[in-house]
Structure 1
Amino acid sequence: MPIIVVDPEQPDPSVMQAAAARIVAGELVAFPTETVYGLGAAAMNPGAIAKIYATKGRPSYNPLIVHVLDVAAAQALVEDWPRLATELADRFWPGPLTIVLRKRPVVPDLVTAGLPSVALRAPAHGVARALLEAAGVPIAAPSANRFQGISPTSAAHVARSLGPDAALILDGGPTRVGIESTVVDLSGAQPVLLRLGGVPVDELEDVTGVLARPAAPREGQPRTSPGLVGRHYAPSGELVVVKTGRLSSALSGARPLGLISFAEQPPPGVDHHLSMPADPREYGRLLYAALHTLDELGCARILVEAVPQQRAWAAIRDRLARSAAS
């Protein structure tokens, strides 16, 4: 599985043309976005899309996000482009916001889990945009890891998770947002927040007003958005979120024991400790990398100090809760 290092700001055009040719030929290419690394395939090619599901071990009820270069490319895939979509795109695209709208028949049902809507995002990363431009087609790309595993924020994470199953990995360095995009559904009468992510809810609701929340889907029922499976983003060992002040009482159990906390020094009895920043954006950028590190160290149990309850930390709390779910 080739790994090619590319400049995240000015990727080599010849490299991007070669990677785009693989996409157009129906192969899988892993590439960086500003959120996490994606496992990309030509979105209009059902055979290529099937490879994504097979490679990840992803259930067919979990739809994919389709990456596009701009609003015009997005509009070509949907039945209607409401004014609110324009307002959101004007403010947050390119960037970590995914918009769900009713799809045109040209979008394969396999991409959307058979639903009448499609999730669209214009990424901000230079490599992702260069790949889209060179390929000339929309690219469906979930995170480039096995289903329910820790999302990758570096090329090394992709290689560790997928092994030889990606035809090519473009290494554009570590991602700068570090958690997945926020997803908002505009396909119905009322805007709905489907997934917390890289765009804080407060900033989103400055444009949309207060967003509705979806009902929890039944097991096996198609999800309107990726990232709604109960257990997700999880390391191999057990992950436990522990309230501040109770870490010392949680140190028993399987070993090696890892700890992610705000403290510079861990309490006695911790085998591996990673100190995290108190800023939610920086914490989000580093979270998956920290989980990957402790996973690679073989931690059978990982304790994570609970993060603050403020809205700015909502996406982090969501990821930790899903990582800890059994």
Structure 2
Amino acid sequence: MKDTKIIDIDCNNIDEEKISFCGSILNRGGTVAFPTETVYGLGANALDEKAVKKIYEAKGRPSDNPLIIHISNIKDIEPLVWEIPEAANRAMKSFWPGPLTLIFKKSKIVPDIITAGLDTVAIRYPRHPIAEMLIKKAKVPIAAPSANLSGKPSPTKGSHVIQDLMGRVDAIVVGEDCNVGLESTVLDLTVDIPTILRPGGITKEMLEEIFDRVEVDPALKDQSILTPKSPGMKYTHYAPKADIVIYEGEESRVVNRIGEKVDELIANGKSVGIICTNETRNFYSVGLIKSVGSRKDMKTIASRLFGILRDFDDTDVDIILAEAIEEVELGQAIMNRLSKASGYRIKKV
């Protein structure tokens, strides 16, 4: 067990000495969890193979699941990649810093452990004052997957990180809650047509404003994929302790079917949770009911989803029944995470 240091930092009044201390931990091969605008990340020096191994060990993460490298200046990308295509310059100009990860052909200095043996590397420039300053103070690019135990819902609060990684990492920086709430969009620029490998806060519609055409990798729906090209593609992720079943269809039919199933499960002695929206909350009267927000405000749903999944872990529910969200704009990323949390148990009604 490590002696994990908890570092509280006010995002509106950042203590530079505290950030420098955490940066020195990273620089000498340690691990630090820290907030970004998407979710909390678990960082280590991306160019130090021994340091990166500590990420996998702390999370219990499979070694064939690649990591994202985080930088604090666009110029930092140059030594990490083979080339910077024109499409990348367009994407970086429009969305960096921000919740967009870009896939490039990697340079020789990037360790294979980062890329799970692939010849490509995922890079992001986060838009968060703590993350940006921490990377600068570390003076090295930082590999950082989400700061949770592998398979659990990603952390959007410092308390989530402490719950999962206390005693497993050298330090945890506790700042404000993450405002996006879902991991970054991953865009592959090593192919002829820019392709989304993981949906996130930068939507397909937003990307289509700067590219003539954007595709979505079919592997997002095909679980027979053998080699993940991006973090989060291969394994079931984001799952609470209880099983989740998603109900998809016209709103009234979904509400009626969930209500019938809740009654059936309770009659069989099961404790049931329900994930719904503000529009349907009052239609349910039994079960542990949690609304993720209004369907008119997808940003709020995205920011609350992982927290609600974690909240259910503090209850005794045996099963969670969830309403599907329409897969348009940010709804695509929300349903990607919810589907993976359920192990793709989706019932169409």
Q: TM-score, normalised by structure 2?
A: 0.89
Distance 1:221 1:271, change over 3 A: closer
- Select the residue among 285, 301, 310 that pairs with 1:283: 301
**C-alpha distance in 1 between matches for 2:225 and 2:50:** 22
Deviations 1:250-305 (A, max 9, x none): 21437432212113436232134335222111110111111111112232211212
Is the CA contact 1:63–1:222 (under 8 Å) kept in the aligned structure 2? no
Is the CA contact 2:25–2:32 (under 8 Å) kept in the aligned structure 1? yes
Q: Which residue of 2 aligns with 1:269?
A: 286
Q: Which residue of 2 aligns with 1:68?
A: 71
Deviates more, 1:255-264 or 1:218-227: 218-227
Matched, 1:298 2:301: no
The alpha carbon displacement at 1:309 in A equals: 3.9
Alignment of 1:81-96 (within 5 A): 81-96=84-99
Matched, 1:117 2:120: yes
**Letter paired with 1:261:** C
Distance 1:318 1:18, change over 3 A: same
Is the CA contact 1:97–1:183 (under 8 Å) kept in the aligned structure 2? yes
Q: Which residue of 2 aligns with 1:256?
A: 271
Identity of aligned residues (%): 36
Q: TM-score, normalised by structure 1?
A: 0.95
Distance 1:53 1:317, change over 3 A: same
Q: Which residue of 2 aligns with 1:16?
A: 19
**C-alpha distance in 2 between matches for 1:97 and 1:127:** 18
**C-alpha distance in 2 between matches for 1:26 and 1:298:** 40
Q: Which residue of 1 aligns with 2:200?
A: 197
- Select the residue among 206, 225, 229 that pairs with 2:230: 225
- Aligned partner of residue 165 in structure 1, secondary structure: coil
- Select the residue among 237, 247, 253 that pairs with 2:258: 247
**C-alpha distance in 2 between matches for 1:290 and 1:63:** 27
**C-alpha distance in 2 between matches for 1:125 and 1:234:** 26
The alpha carbon displacement at 1:220 in A equals: 8.3
Deviates more, 1:153-162 or 1:177-186: 153-162
**C-alpha distance in 2 between matches for 1:314 and 1:124:** 22
Extract unaligned runs of 5+ from structure 2: 249-253, 345-349
- Aligned partner of residue 298 in structure 1, secondary structure: coil
**C-alpha distance in 2 between matches for 1:175 and 1:284:** 11
- Aligned partner of residue 196 in structure 2, secondary structure: strand
Matched, 1:31 2:34: yes
Q: Which residue of 2 aligns with 1:178?
A: 181
Q: Which residue of 2 aligns with 1:128?
A: 131
The alpha carbon displacement at 1:236 in A equals: 1.0
**Letter paired with 2:53:** A
Deviations 1:84-107 (A, max 9, x none): 111111110000000000011000
Q: Which residue of 2 aligns with 1:322?
A: 340
**C-alpha distance in 2 between matches for 1:30 and 1:266:** 40
